[in-house]
Amino acid sequence: VNPEGMAASDDNKDVDAFLASCTESGDAAYGAAKAVLERLQAPASCAAARRLLGSIRCRFTDPAAGQNCFQTFHFRIHDVILDPHLQGPLSRLIFPV
């Protein structure tokens, strides 16, 4: 059994569960994101929460998928480049008001 393959499978299930909870409304999407942010605060769940956020980001790298993200899941991902010398952009989840 490949532990990395199992982790990827678990990550996909977590992303699917997160997205399923976001389909209901903007408020539901905000609540799901808030729950993930709370997991970032706990040392025991921080690494899994970071993997989840990274996997969500990877799911919507294509511009068409990004548009679908907002229409279907009530959030969009916005990249902010703080310093061009840093490794990559800062990704933010944006919710409707």
- As a whole number, mean pLDDT of residues 16-37 equals 96
User: Contact, 73 vs 29, CB < 8 A?
Assistant: yes
CB atoms within 10 A of CB 68: 13
Q: For residues 54 and 88, which has the higher predicted lDDT (pLDDT)?
A: 54
Q: Per-residue pLDDT averaged across 40-46, rounded?
A: 95
Residue 5 — very low, low, confident or very high, per pLDDT cuts 50/70/90?
low
- Domain residue limits, the chain: 3-94
Per DSSP bridges, beta strands 90-94 and 76-80 are: antiparallel
The model's confidence at residue 1, banded by pLDDT at 50, 70 and 90, is: very low
- Per the CB < 8 A criterion, the answer to whether 95 and 75 are in contact is yes
CA distance 68 to 90: 21
